Amino acid sequence: MGVPRFWREIPQRYNLQASRCEVCQAIHFPPREVCPDCRRASIGRMGTVRLSGRGRILEWTRVHKAAPGYEKHVPYVVALIHTDEGPVVTGQVVDSDPASIEEGAEVHAVFRRLGEDGEAGVIHYGTKWRTARIAAKE
């Protein structure tokens, strides 16, 4: 894949830049071009807002057969994160005490290397998540 494919997503992936509908104030992540509730009324009225990077685990799984580029990381945790601002996002939970990874656990966004694009080696970065309660069981 070409560099622009990754470059153009930097604000969203690095900084959790979401969209906000200026009509109904709903926040969407990944950002949207049009609000699914206000539709036509929202055209040209979609602003941006940065998510706080705080949320809770809605559901999680431990992946043993990796998606491409993540083979070295197995087993790794993929979760649906319910952000404090409302949107649900898909992401990995890393650097966390396994016992702390559970439904409802508070998580914070962390900036991480996500992988590289094959042999061409465009390294891409983005957000992963870490539980707020670290190593509490030790």
Partner 1 sequence: MERGQGPRKRPDAYVIGVGHTAFGEAWEKSYRQLMTEAGLAAIQDAGIQGDEIDEVFVGTMSTGKLVGQEHVAPLLLDGAGLADLHIPATRVEASGASGGLAFRQAVQAIRAGGADIVVVGGLEKMTDVSDADAQAIASSGIDQEWEHFFGANDAALHALVAKRHMAEYGTTREQLAAVAVKNHAHGANNPLAQFRRAITPDKVLRAPMVAEPFTVFDCAPVSDGAACLVLASSGVVGSYRKDAVKVSGSGQASDALALHSRATTTTWRSTAEAARRAYTEAGISVADIRLAEVHDAYTINEILAIEDLGFVKKGEGGPATLEGRTGFDGDIVVNPSGGLKARGHPAGATGIAQVCEVVWQLRGEAKGRQVKDARIGVTHNTGGTGATAVVHVLEGGF
- Residues near partner 1 (CB under 8 A): 9, 30, 59-68, 70-71, 73, 75-76, 78-80, 87-92, 103, 114, 124, 126, 128
Q: Which is nearer to partner 1, 120 or 138 (CB)?
A: 120
Q: What gap in Å lies between CA 112 and CA 129, rounded to an integer? A: 9
Nearer to partner 1, 17 or 138 (CB): 17
Residue with smaller CB distance to partner 1, 53 or 126: 126
Q: Which two tokens stand for residue 81?
A: 């994160």
CA distance 44 to 56: 32
Minimal distance, residue 4 CB to partner 1, in Å: 13
Least separation in angstroms between residue 79's CB and partner 1 is: 8
Torsion of CA 124, 16, 78, 118, to 10 degrees: -10
Tokens linked to 57:
């685990």
